[in-house]
Structure 1
Amino acid sequence: MKTFPDGFLWGAAASAPQTEGSALVDGKSLTTWDKWFEMNPEKFDKQVGPKDTSNVYRQYAEDVQLMEDMKLNSYRTSISWARLLPDGKTLNQKAVDFYRNYFLSMIEKNVEPIINLFHFDMPWWLMEKGGWETRESVEAFGYYAKVAFEQFGDLVHRWTTFNEPIVHVECGYLFEFHYPAVVDFKRAVQVGYHTLMAHVEAVKQFRKGQHTGEIGIILNLTPVYGKSDAPEDLKAKEAADALNVKSFLDPVVLGHFPAELIQLVKENDLLPASEAGDKERIARATVDFLGVNYYQPKRVQAVSHPTVPAKMPNDLYGEYDWPEKKINPYRGWEIYPEALYDIAMRLKNEYGNIPWYVSENGMGVAEEERFMNDEGIIQDDYRIEFVHDHLTELHKAIEEGSNCFGYHMWTFADCWSWLNGYRNRYGFYRVDIENDFKRTPKKSSFWMKSVIQQNTID
């Protein structure tokens, strides 16, 4: 038996825009997702948009009871900026009441709320001003964070500023999966820089307010593996690591940008606009802990004929299709649990063994009803195997001294997933969106309950 540390956080993760629903009621203003769906519903799988999602706004008490039934001791979700401050300035009391009741219901069931501030849901009023491309976003986010800390700081003691900040940079400004769906490397770098400075401003507000607890950030620390040890493949690996991992990891943990990233953006005419004093602000805003999202590794190789200076990341590194990979065919993602051990040891050896937890890990599968038994329970043995194998690698890293304090699965109940809608399901519980969002446990929920109760895997 492999036993985890006492007090280990066992839970699940979600976000406001993917679960709450009620997107246009009780004072909430439009986000980029609401507006994009209004403009281009054909881009969304089966034209399922953000309006209802999984109805947590109405059904949170039921979900929290199911969390207790499953013996979860923690749960991470986010606050909707557009719900709490519909115009960026005016406090929405209905939002305050909802979130306080939601968080209190968790606490009463011995489920610790870990609350994130931004999960890809840019308010439309700010997007109209340029979103993360404008420096105004930094101050706006800082004010939002300040209000959130003041309204909920007595209930929440672990805060995170952003979930996977590199994702809204890539998906919105390189790969057209998020609004505004532009392709511009230089604008992407500027968006990333302002996102970092918004994080810095939120950390400043947390510490200035002398709030109890800790503040961190959630990063998808996708490990980069090169095709070979040839110099050209190693150079590609270094570039991919600098852009995708160290760009946020180094400043939030070490307080400065990595030298290789600075050189890369200079060489390719990608330097963002900054302000005097930013360097010092970054140095003062290091985090107390990290959330780490991990789904798949990144495998790269040298580019045969790159454009110089680089117009896109694929001018710096190319994707490598590792012939030995095990694949999840529904997402096209590689399944490689060993990378979680590599992440853990890197944090231990290169980043001061900072406290961290697995804030997301999971397996999305389409048409899970194929695996439903006569009692209506989805037999998701593939998910059990996936989680077991990743926990095995995580346990190994903890035994070797990595400072990991928890594991959260994505997600608790099936949720809406951006342009993909409900195509792939990730939850411990099935959500029937055509039958009043009815929750039904999957086999993995019973297995995970046993793991939590014993604090071990075999």
Structure 2
Amino acid sequence: MEDLKMNYKFPKDFWWGSASSATQMEGAYNKDGKEQNIWDYWYEIAPEKFHNNIGPHNTSNFYYKYEEDIKLMKELGHNSFRFSISWSRLIKEDQSVNEEAVKFYNNVINTMLQNGVEPFINLFHFDMPMYLQNIGGWENREVVTRYQNFAKKCFELFGDRVKKWFTHNEPIVPVECGYLGHYHYPCVVDFKRAVQVGYHIMLSSSLAIMEYKKLNQGGEIGIIINLTPSYPRSNSEEDLKASNIADLILNRSFLDTSVLGEFPGELIEFVKEQNLLPEYTKEDMEVIKNNTVDLLGVNYYQPRRVKAKESKIEEGAPLTPESFFDFYDMPGKKINPHRGWEIYEKGIYDLSINIRDNYKNIHFFISENGMGVEGEEKFKVDGRIEDDYRIEFISEHLKWANKALNEGCNLKGYHLWTFMDNWSWLNSYKNRYGFVEIDLNNDYKRTPKKSAYWFKELITNNGF
């Protein structure tokens, strides 16, 4: 009888779960041999930049509470969880392996498997080791080789049990936030350096895939890309051109390279015209061509509304992607009033159809989707956060995901950002995204929200 009530059914082997990252949830920032990453360093020199002066030191204390957290994942029905390995925890500056880190990640992986939660492991989530940033970070070709070695070591250490690997999370973010803005260290605004960083990240992804394929471990390796569909204000030639440039720079530079093995021709022409061409070799192009992803993770939060530039670039202003288009504030849009972001559920469908039609209908999953809320404690009733807004957000997105599935898209799963409230870069704990509340004033106590139990029922029924 249950089946008859389900308006939106999902495949029986669908991946239901959530995602987080090392720096955002582990804590123990300087314990057991972990070395400094860019966030530890930046907080040390400029703590005032971080919301409420809360840095990455303890975050959600997963390092100490992972057994409790994984048990809770099982209780709440999750069958998979994506997390990242901290490069600066695992690999020391002298390139030796930190055995304490090996022990920790082995314990996490084994505990997950014992609880029926499949580990999806991502290798890089914005947390460059400071000893590598000091030699230029992703600008330096040597760091690409170091990353290749780090990836290979992870596969050798954990690949006997981990069968879902991802090279990078949101490769545009270190480029956009670190080299075209002041949101991530090193806070540079230089389009040419940004292009070199983006190029090296994509090359490193292909080299990691190459190393994984050599080992024949029987799993899949992919990349996690935040795909933000670019919608033009109108069908005018100028607006369409602006939207296309935004899509080329911010989506296709990573998507085409990962799935099709080549940078879009239009993008190459644009980069040449603007004198932004990175240093590269013909051998690199072969590596990229021959080492594409098996699987794609798609992070989707909001659309990008774009219009043609309405004013000339100021003389002397630095060149950025926004030199070629303007953002468009669409009247009447649906908004998350607690975060300020547009909510556009159909975007998840549009992305899925694009992947089906233009990217080999590759297997993909929604690797992040979520709703951040500031001051969420105001929705607490009898000790539990009644987050009906999050239930509505998830269900409305899943309706469109279900439509995509029914129209032949190879959608394999849905992961919410995030399992438990976690620390978020400069925003710290300002916006809460989790199924589970973290009480920072009470030993990081975990309390599931209403949405956690709704999601459990959804998983049990494989639909709603």
* CA distances 1:327-353 after superposition (whole Å, capped 9, x unpaired): 113322100000000000000001110
Count how many residue pairs are aligned between Structure 1 and Structure 2.
456
Matched-pair identity in %: 53
Q: Is the 8 A contact 1:306 1:316 kept in 2?
A: no
Aligned to 2:208: 202
- The AA in structure 2 aligned to 1:422 is Y
Uncovered stretches (5+) of structure 2, i.e. residues with no partner? 1-6
Q: Is the 8 A contact 1:379 1:443 kept in 2?
A: yes
SS in 2 for 1:398: helix
1:92 to 86, 92, 98: 98
Aligned to 1:400: 407
Aligned to 1:384: 391
- The AA in structure 2 aligned to 1:296 is Q
2:298 is the alignment partner of 1:292: yes
Q: Kindly state the Cα deviation for residue 260 of structure 1 after the two structures are TM-superposed.
A: 1.3
Q: Is the 8 A contact 1:88 1:140 kept in 2?
A: no
* CA distances 1:383-403 after superposition (whole Å, capped 9, x unpaired): 000000000000000000000
Distance 1:235 1:217, change over 3 A: same
2:352 is the alignment partner of 1:339: no
2:167 is the alignment partner of 1:165: no
Q: For 1:88 and 1:116, locate their aligned partners in 2 and report how far apart those are by CA, in whole Å.
A: 23
- For the aligned residue pairs, the C-alpha RMSD in angstroms reads 1.1
Q: For 1:332 and 1:312, locate their aligned partners in 2 and report how far apart those are by CA, in whole Å.
A: 24
* CA distances 1:111-159 after superposition (whole Å, capped 9, x unpaired): 0000000000000000000000111111000000000000000110000
SS in 2 for 1:218: strand
1:146 to 147, 152, 171: 152
Aligned to 1:155: 161
SS in 1 for 2:82: strand
Q: For 1:306 and 1:4, locate their aligned partners in 2 and report how far apart those are by CA, in whole Å.
A: 49
Aligned to 1:228: 234
Q: For 1:306 and 1:215, locate their aligned partners in 2 and report how far apart those are by CA, in whole Å.
A: 43
* CA distances 1:257-313 after superposition (whole Å, capped 9, x unpaired): 111111111111111111231111110110000000000000100002344998111
Q: For 2:122 and 2:206, locate their aligned partners in 1 and report how far apart those are by CA, in whole Å.
A: 15
2:438 to 417, 421, 431: 431
Q: For 1:25 and 1:433, locate their aligned partners in 2 and report how far apart those are by CA, in whole Å.
A: 20
Query: TM-score, normalized by length of structure 1?
Result: 0.98
* CA distances 1:12-55 after superposition (whole Å, capped 9, x unpaired): 00000000000101000000000000000000001000010000
Aligned to 1:421: 428
SS in 2 for 1:159: strand
Aligned to 2:245: 239
Q: For 1:86 and 1:119, locate their aligned partners in 2 and report how far apart those are by CA, in whole Å.
A: 18
Q: For 1:184 and 1:331, locate their aligned partners in 2 and report how far apart those are by CA, in whole Å.
A: 29
* 1:58-137 alignment runs, 5 A limit: 58-87=64-93, 89-137=95-143
- The AA in structure 1 aligned to 2:446 is R
Would you identify which runs of 4 or more consecutive aligned residues in structure 1 move more than 6 Å?
none
Uncovered stretches (5+) of structure 1, i.e. residues with no partner? none
Q: For 1:449 and 1:56, locate their aligned partners in 2 and report how far apart those are by CA, in whole Å.
A: 22
Q: Is the 8 A contact 1:367 1:424 kept in 2?
A: yes
Query: TM-score, normalized by length of structure 2?
Result: 0.97
Q: For 1:443 and 1:8, locate their aligned partners in 2 and report how far apart those are by CA, in whole Å.
A: 22
Q: For 1:386 and 1:227, locate their aligned partners in 2 and report how far apart those are by CA, in whole Å.
A: 25
